[in-house]
Amino acid sequence: MAKKAKQGKKTGPQSGGTPATVALTAAGVPFTVHAYEHDPAAASYGEEAAEALGVSPDQVFKTLLADVDGTLTVAVVPVSGSLDLKALAAAVGGKRATMADPAAAERSTGYVLGGISPLGQRKRLRTVLDASAQGRPTVCVSAGRRGLEVELAPDDLVALTGARLAPIARG
């Protein structure tokens, strides 16, 4: 069981931030970092984060990578649901989507599985944020390391990633 999250402040290059927090700081976007002790035995990184932060799994979003017609695509969906690959493909005008090879996801983003952030990726990929994020005051996404989440406004996440909003989550 994860220990209670510690609410953090903004972090940046001076404080040893991750590429995600460095990108947020450079953009001047307001955000809050939440750190918690990651349990390597946790069955779900996202559910572990929601529990540690004491928030609904609908507010914590996981970052997944899919291969849509040969192009890596980032999907950001609530941890309470799963990614609808068919909906993701349609959202970007593709025909077929499959989950990306984990090694390709890590290589392309510069992050390890369970800590992939939609922000500060090594290579900017097209990104789709589930439409359920719209209208929420804030959402939490990985800050680029297991046990580290960043909370920000969905509009800021869209602006910084160039994401489009679409209903890509199931249940």
Classify strands 71-78 and 139-145 as parallel, antiparallel or unpaired: unpaired
- Give the whole-angstrom CA distance, residue 77 versus residue 128: 9
Asked if residues 13 and 40 have their Cβ atoms less than 8 Å apart, the reply is no
Contact partners, residue 107, CB within 8 Å, separation at least 6: none
pLDDT confidence of residue 43: 84
> Taking the domain 6-170, which CATH number applies?
3.90.960.10
pLDDT tens readout for residues 95-106:
999 999 999 999
Domain boundaries, the chain: 6-170
Q: Which residues of the chain have pLDDT under 50?
A: 1-15
- Predicted TM-score (pTM) of the model is 0.89
